[in-house]
Copies of this chain bind each other. A is one copy, B any other.
Amino acid sequence: MESEFVAWLRRHAPAHPQLTLGIGDDAALLSLLSSQCVVTSDMLMDGVDFVLSDCDPRRVGRKALAVNLSDLAAMASKPVAAIVSIAVPTTISLEVTKAIYDGLLELAAEYGVALAGGDTNSWRHPLVINITAIGEPPQRGVLTRSGARAGDAILVTGEFGGSILGRHFDFRPRVDEALCLHQRYDLHAGIDVSDGLSLDLSRLARESSCGAIIDASCVPISGDAFRLAERNPDRGSPLDHALSDGEDFELILAVSAETAERIVADRPIGVPLTRIGEFVAEPGLWLRSESGDCQTLTPRGYEH
* A residues whose Cβ falls under 8 Å from a Cβ of B: 1-3, 20-21, 24-43, 45, 47-48, 71-72, 74-75, 77, 81, 83-87, 116-126, 128, 130, 132-135, 137, 142, 144-146, 190-192, 207, 303-304
Known A26-B40, A27-B71, A43-B121; further 17 A-B contacts with Cβ < 8 A: A1-B304, A21-B144, A26-B72, A27-B39, A28-B39, A29-B36, A29-B142, A31-B36, A37-B134, A39-B83, A39-B117, A41-B85, A45-B128, A87-B128, A120-B304, A122-B304, A128-B128
A125 to B48, CA, bound (A): 11
* Inter-subunit contact B25/A144 (CB<8 Å): yes
* Inter-subunit contact A87/B45 (CB<8 Å): yes
Q: Is the interface of A mostly helix, strand, loop or mixed?
A: strand
A86 to B37, CA, bound (A): 22
Copy tally for this chain in the complex stands at 2
Query: Which residues of the partner chain B approach A1 to less than 8 Å between Cβ atoms?
Result: 303-304
Query: Which residues of the partner chain B approach A45 to less than 8 Å between Cβ atoms?
Result: 87, 121, 123, 125, 128
Q: Which of B3, B31, B87, B126 contacts A43 (CB 8 A)?
A: B87
